[in-house]
Amino acid sequence: WHKGADIVGTLDAPGGRIDIASTRQIEGVPMAMGAPVAYRFTRAGRLLAHADVLNAGAVRMVAATSDAERDWIAAAATALLMRVD
């Protein structure tokens, strides 16, 4: 679901469900930003990837993320980054 720019949802990837949630927090900054600055991709609470929407945007994946999961995460992250104004 989404409420304004915030997103919480799931991706039904072949390896299992991947949870997606936007965040307004920047590490080391004590207060939240006015809009999402990144999207976190997790499975069972374990971080798989992080899509940063600031500047040109970037997607960083945890080294242990499988190639199949990387493809699904890359596709979802691309869609999320494209919706940024």
Q: What is the pLDDT along the chain (85 residues), one digit of tens a residue?
A: 556 678 889 999 988 999 999 988 888 888 888 888 899 999 999 999 999 988 888 899 999 888 888 999 999 999 888 865 5
| pTM for the predicted model, two decimal places | 0.84
> What is the model's pLDDT at position 84?
53
> What is the model's pLDDT at position 17?
94
> What is the model's pLDDT at position 2?
58
How are beta strands 38-43 and 2-3 bridged, if at all? unpaired
> What is the model's pLDDT at position 7?
83
